[in-house]
Structure 1
Amino acid sequence: MKSKTIILLLFLIGGISFIAGSYGIYNLYDKSKKTEHTTGIVTHLKTEKTYRHRKIYYKRTARIQYETKRYKSHVRMQLHNPFIFQGSEISVWYNPDRTEEVIIPFEEGIIWGSIWAFGAFCLFLGIAISPRHTSTRK
């Protein structure tokens, strides 16, 4: 009974994660068609240490400067990638009508790709441990 419950949970969690990751990756692909692509430079990087429930969290806020077709612009965003430093060049997608709406495709791709891979792993694990019912008829 426990193995059936575990297999069911693996299929449920894996299916939801796989569908959510696929939707996020497709949504990112769709946004790539509607936005302008440019390179931004991290001009300022601020790291804040916060305490919650006896744990330390680091919040990294960056000022990213990028050039649109008409003028230079900047935006402040929270970064989750620990390997971006001050002076780093990163890929930026912006909405041509509202240049302050910015997407950093690498960060969103990592998030949605991880969710998709976790879902695929759970589905594969559910298939691998499910009992194979073979009938032997003579």
Structure 2
Amino acid sequence: MRFIFGRDMKPKKIHNRPETKTNRIQLRKSLTSAEAFLWNELKGKKLDGRKFRRQHGIGNYITDFYCAQENLIIELDGEVHNNTISNEKDDRRTAYLNGEGYSVVRFENKMVFENMPSVLQEIRDNFNNSKD
């Protein structure tokens, strides 16, 4: 389990922190259509036996999909991400997650609907081959 440290130098939980629980639950109940479409391909270890979680909290962020076995995060970006402010926030988020040891793969929602085989292959390409 990973921890971050507060000002008092006591370790704080980094995964699914209690203060993000309500938001994580709400996000699971209201997946975007692209998230729901991809989730159908990831849930139940359908993709090469890897277990994915949806709307998983890491630090102050809630990721769209997370595979602990691979330290892999999948993020889906809709139209709301197509502006400078959102791009900067996404870059900060990715930098934080990379700094914690996670790989982040991003797809536009359109890609999920129009080319699912390519999306799934790119996810596979980010698996650590030694775990096959």
Q: Shared topology, TM-score over 0.5? A: no
TM-score by length of 1: 0.23
Q: Which has the higher contact order (CA 8 A, sep 6+)?
A: 1
The structure carrying a bigger helix percent of its residues is 2
Structure with higher Rg: it is 1
TM-score by length of 2: 0.24
